[in-house]
Chain A
Amino acid sequence: MTSTLKGITLKGSAELVAEFFSFGINSILYQRGIYPPETFTRVTHYDMTLQLTTDPKLKNYLTNVVSQLKEWLFECTVQKLVLVITCLETNEVLERWQFDIECDKSSKESSAPREKSIKIIQDEIRSVIRQITATVTFLPLLETPCAFDLLVYTDKDLVVPDKWEESGPQIINQSEEVRLRSFTTSIHKVNSMVAYKRTDSV
Chain B
Amino acid sequence: MDLEDDTTILTTLKSFNTFISRHEHPQRPSEQSGSGNLQPHYKRSMEFLEAAERVHSQHRYLQLDQEKKQMELSHKRARFELEKAASESARNLEQEVDRNQDLLGRIKVLEEREKEARKNLSEQVEANGSLRKNLDGLNKQLDERDAKLTTVDQTVTSLRDEIRDLRQKIQTQDATISSQTLENQELQEQLDLQRRKYLEASQLCQSLQAEQSSCSEHVIKIKELERRIALQEQDVAIVKSVKSEVARVPDLEKELKRLREDNAFLRDSRENCSLLKEEVEGLRKKLERMEKKKEELVNIELEKEVNCLALCVCRKPEDLSREVIQIQHREIALKEQNYTLSIRSLEHSQCEVGAKLTQQCGRTVEEQKKREAQDALIRRLQKRLLLLTKERDGMRAILESYDGELASNEYSPQLSKRVKEAEDVLQKTQNHNAEMEAQLSKAQEETGTLKLQLQKTLSSHTFSVMVPILVVIAIFRQKIEELEKDRQRLEEQNNILEMRLERHNLQGDYDPVKTRVIHLKLNPTAEAKQQRQQEAGAVQEELTRLRELVRSYQEGGVASQDDSSIHTPDLRKQMESSELRNQRLKEVFQKKIQEFRTVCYVLTGYQIDITTENQYRLTSVYAEHMQDSLLFKKGSNGSMHLMETEFSKTLGEMVTLHLHHQKSIPAFLSAVTLDLFSRQTTF
What are the residues of chain B within 8 A of A133 when measuring CB–CB?
A: 171-172, 175-176
Contact B518 A160 (CB under 8 A): yes
| Alpha-carbon gap, A48 to B515, bound state (A) | 35
| Alpha-carbon gap, A160 to B514, bound state (A) | 15
Q: In the complex, which residues 520-539 of chain B have their Cβ closer than 8 Å to any Cβ of chain A?
A: 520-529, 532
Provided the pairs A158-B516, A166-B516 are in contact, do residues A148 and B525 lie with their beta carbons within 8 angstroms?
A: yes
Contact B175 A134 (CB under 8 A): yes
CB distance from B308 to the nearest CB of A (A): 134
| Alpha-carbon gap, A192 to B171, bound state (A) | 22
CB distance from A181 to the nearest CB of B (A): 8
Other-chain residue from A150, A154, A181 in contact with B516 (beta carbon distance below 8 A): A154
Say if the beta carbon of B556 comes within 8 Å of chain A: no
Contact A166 B528 (CB under 8 A): no
Q: In the complex, which residues 106-136 of chain A have their Cβ closer than 8 Å to any Cβ of chain B?
A: 127, 130-131, 133-134, 136
Contact A195 B508 (CB under 8 A): yes
CB distance from B518 to the nearest CB of A (A): 5
| Alpha-carbon gap, A23 to B506, bound state (A) | 22
Say if the beta carbon of B507 comes within 8 Å of chain A: yes
What are the residues of chain B within 8 A of A154 when measuring CB–CB?
A: 515-518
Say if the beta carbon of B509 comes within 8 Å of chain A: yes
| Alpha-carbon gap, A65 to B521, bound state (A) | 11
CB distance from A132 to the nearest CB of B (A): 9
Produce 1/0 per residue, A159-183, CB < 8 A to B.
Answer: 0100111111111100101010100
Produce 1/0 per residue, B49-93, CB < 8 A to A.
Answer: 000000000000000000000000000000000000000000000
Say if the beta carbon of B567 comes within 8 Å of chain A: no
What are the residues of chain A within 8 A of B175 when measuring CB–CB?
A: 48, 130, 133-134
Other-chain residue from B172, B513, B521, B528 in contact with A156 (beta carbon distance below 8 A): B513
Contact A169 B517 (CB under 8 A): yes
Across the two chains, which residue of chain B brings its CB closest to A100?
Answer: B505
Contact A195 B176 (CB under 8 A): no
Other-chain residue from A58, A65, A155, A168 in contact with B515 (beta carbon distance below 8 A): A155
Contact A152 B172 (CB under 8 A): no
What are the residues of chain A within 8 A of B526 when measuring CB–CB?
A: 149
Other-chain residue from B183, B508, B516, B524 in contact with A82 (beta carbon distance below 8 A): B508
Say if the beta carbon of B209 comes within 8 Å of chain A: no
| Alpha-carbon gap, A79 to B505, bound state (A) | 12
Contact A153 B517 (CB under 8 A): yes
CB distance from A152 to the nearest CB of B (A): 6
Provided the pairs A88-B528, A134-B175, A148-B524 are in contact, do residues A165 and B519 lie with their beta carbons within 8 angstroms?
A: yes
What are the residues of chain A within 8 A of B172 when measuring CB–CB?
A: 133-134, 136-137
| Alpha-carbon gap, A158 to B523, bound state (A) | 20
| Alpha-carbon gap, A64 to B522, bound state (A) | 10
Contact B518 A130 (CB under 8 A): no
Other-chain residue from A61, A131, A172 in contact with B507 (beta carbon distance below 8 A): A172
Say if the beta carbon of B135 comes within 8 Å of chain A: no
CB distance from A198 to the nearest CB of B (A): 12
Q: Interface SS of chain B: helix, strand, loop or mixed?
A: helix
Provided the pairs A130-B178, A154-B516 are in contact, do residues A164 and B521 lie with their beta carbons within 8 angstroms?
A: yes
Provided the pairs A79-B515, A134-B172, A134-B179 are in contact, do residues A65 and B528 lie with their beta carbons within 8 angstroms?
A: no
What are the residues of chain B within 8 A of A170 when measuring CB–CB?
A: 508
Provided the pairs A61-B523, A153-B516, A156-B515 are in contact, do residues A171 and B509 lie with their beta carbons within 8 angstroms?
A: yes
| Alpha-carbon gap, A98 to B508, bound state (A) | 7
Across the two chains, which residue of chain B brings its CB closest to A194?
Answer: B506
Say if the beta carbon of A139 comes within 8 Å of chain B: no
Contact B507 A175 (CB under 8 A): yes
What are the residues of chain B within 8 A of A150 when measuring CB–CB?
A: 519-520, 523
What are the residues of chain A within 8 A of B48 when measuring CB–CB?
A: none
Say if the beta carbon of B402 comes within 8 Å of chain A: no
Say if the beta carbon of A26 comes within 8 Å of chain B: no
Say if the beta carbon of B103 comes within 8 Å of chain A: no
CB distance from A154 to the nearest CB of B (A): 6
Say if the beta carbon of B415 comes within 8 Å of chain A: no
Say if the beta carbon of B510 comes within 8 Å of chain A: yes
Q: In the complex, which residues 655-681 of chain B have their Cβ closer than 8 Å to any Cβ of chain A?
A: none
| Alpha-carbon gap, A48 to B509, bound state (A) | 34
Contact A166 B524 (CB under 8 A): no
Contact A96 B515 (CB under 8 A): no
Across the two chains, which residue of chain B brings its CB closest to A98?
Answer: B508
| Alpha-carbon gap, A98 to B506, bound state (A) | 8
CB distance from A10 to the nearest CB of B (A): 20
Provided the pairs A61-B520, A147-B524, A195-B506 are in contact, do residues A130 and B179 lie with their beta carbons within 8 angstroms?
A: yes
Produce 1/0 per residue, A50-67, CB < 8 A to B.
Answer: 000000011001001100
What are the residues of chain B within 8 A of A49 when measuring CB–CB?
A: 171
Contact A88 B515 (CB under 8 A): no
What are the residues of chain B within 8 A of A181 when measuring CB–CB?
A: 179, 183
Contact B517 A151 (CB under 8 A): yes
| Alpha-carbon gap, A131 to B514, bound state (A) | 31
Contact A155 B514 (CB under 8 A): yes
Say if the beta carbon of A84 comes within 8 Å of chain B: yes
What are the residues of chain A within 8 A of B513 when measuring CB–CB?
A: 156
Contact A61 B524 (CB under 8 A): yes
What are the residues of chain B within 8 A of A28 when measuring CB–CB?
A: none
Say if the beta carbon of B182 comes within 8 Å of chain A: yes
Other-chain residue from A136, A145, A147, A167 in contact with B518 (beta carbon distance below 8 A): A167
What are the residues of chain A within 8 A of B515 when measuring CB–CB?
A: 79-80, 153-156
| Alpha-carbon gap, A33 to B67, bound state (A) | 119
Best-surrounded residue of A58, A130, A148, A177 (most CB of chain B within 10 A): A130
What are the residues of chain A within 8 A of B516 when measuring CB–CB?
A: 153-156, 158, 160, 166
Provided the pairs A79-B515, A127-B179 are in contact, do residues A61 and B522 lie with their beta carbons within 8 angstroms?
A: yes
Contact B518 A152 (CB under 8 A): yes
Contact B525 A149 (CB under 8 A): yes
Across the two chains, which residue of chain B brings its CB closest to A102?
Answer: B413
| Alpha-carbon gap, A156 to B518, bound state (A) | 11
Say if the beta carbon of A13 comes within 8 Å of chain B: no
What are the residues of chain B within 8 A of A152 when measuring CB–CB?
A: 517-519
| Alpha-carbon gap, A102 to B521, bound state (A) | 25
CB distance from A71 to the nearest CB of B (A): 13
| Alpha-carbon gap, A168 to B508, bound state (A) | 10
Contact B529 A137 (CB under 8 A): no
What are the residues of chain B within 8 A of A64 when measuring CB–CB?
A: 520
Produce 1/0 per residue, B470-511, CB < 8 A to A.
Answer: 000000000000000000000000000000000101111110
What are the residues of chain A within 8 A of B503 when measuring CB–CB?
A: 177
Contact A88 B529 (CB under 8 A): yes
Say if the beta carbon of A86 comes within 8 Å of chain B: yes
What are the residues of chain A within 8 A of B179 when measuring CB–CB?
A: 127, 130-131, 134, 181
| Alpha-carbon gap, A102 to B505, bound state (A) | 14
Produce 1/0 per residue, A5-49, CB < 8 A to B.
Answer: 000000000000000000000000000000000000000000011
Please report B residues at the A interface, Cβ cutoff 8 Å.
171-172, 175-176, 178-179, 182-183, 413, 503, 505-510, 513-529, 532
Instruction: List 10 A-B residue pairs with CB atoms under 8 Å apart, sorted by A's residue number.
Output: A88-B532, A96-B508, A148-B525, A149-B524, A152-B517, A153-B510, A154-B515, A154-B518, A167-B517, A171-B509
Please report A residues at the B interface, Cβ cutoff 8 Å.
48-49, 57-58, 61, 64-65, 68, 79-80, 82, 84, 86, 88, 91, 96, 98, 100, 102, 127, 130-131, 133-134, 136-137, 145, 147-156, 158, 160, 163-172, 175, 177, 179, 181, 193, 195
Q: A137-B176, A167-B519 provided; 18 other pairs, C-beta below 8 A? A: A61-B523, A79-B515, A80-B508, A84-B525, A91-B529, A127-B178, A127-B183, A130-B179, A137-B172, A147-B524, A147-B529, A154-B516, A154-B518, A164-B518, A166-B518, A172-B507, A181-B179, A195-B508
The 7 A-B pairs at the shortest CB distance, nearest first, are namely A147-B528, A134-B176, A130-B175, A149-B525, A130-B179, A147-B525, A177-B506
